[in-house]
A = this chain, B = another copy of it.
Amino acid sequence: MTKKHDKRMVGEVPAKQDAPPAVMALALPQAELSQEMQAFLAKCEEKLGYVPNVLLAYAHDDAKLAAFATLYNDLMLAPSGLSKLEREMIAVAVSSVNRCYYCLTAHGAAVRQLSGDPVLGEMLVMNYRAAALSPRHRAMLDFAEKLTEVPHLVEEEDRQSLRDAGFTERDIWDIGAVAAFFNMSNRMASAVDMRPNAEYHGSVR
């Protein structure tokens, strides 16, 4: 990743009926990355043992990688009334509607990891209604799914359902923001056929 030659391809156009691409299906060379982005990717590798492919895909452009990483980290890791697990639950429920292979794989693993409950991760991938959710979590995922499927029908009574389930104004922002973000991320993954790292599949089963 942090190699000196900036022409390493981060993706490739797939040969027909061949194996899928390693990272994504666009043939784009890796950009000369800034110090900051090199450090960020190195830190990912150190902490996780690998650089998530979504970052490699964005690495064809330093500014795009930085913008994506900043937004992602704020949404998923910064202080919030939503726990990190709750944010990952939203990620998976949204990705289930959009049937996004990359995000279901990566964030399904995150739900298994953060909850220590492999079955919960699977249920959210398949149909969150199968899980015995608390009223708080049910309201949260119902809102996220409606926002994903029929955003034009979301109205004040939907926000009120979240308030009734105990969420604050800021929590509602965060639920909306995470659900909205994965509607972007799912589509970015589909647009370029992003491929999840192999590490996710067997993790916390």
Contacts and interface: CB of A to CB of B under 8 A. Distances in A.
Interface of A: 11, 13-14, 17-20, 25-28, 60, 63-64, 66-68, 70-71, 74, 78, 96, 98-101, 104-105, 118-119, 122-123, 125-127, 129-132, 134-135, 143, 147-148, 151-156, 159, 169-170, 172-173, 175-177, 179-181, 183-188, 190-193, 198, 201-202, 205
A127 B125 CA distance: 11
Contacts of A202: 118, 205
A193 B173 CA distance: 11
A177 B169 contact: no
Interface of A is mostly: helix
Given A19-B132, A20-B130, A188 B159 contact: no
Given A100-B152, A126-B101, A186-B151, A192 B173 contact: yes
23 contacts: A17-B132, A19-B132, A26-B159, A67-B67, A67-B74, A68-B71, A96-B99, A99-B151, A100-B126, A101-B126, A105-B126, A127-B152, A143-B191, A147-B187, A147-B191, A154-B190, A154-B191, A176-B187, A176-B188, A177-B191, A179-B191, A180-B184, A202-B205
Q: How many copies does the complex hold?
A: 6
A193 B193 CA distance: 32
A93 to B, nearest CB: 11
B67 A63 contact: no
Given A104-B126, A129-B152, A135-B17, A188 B180 contact: yes
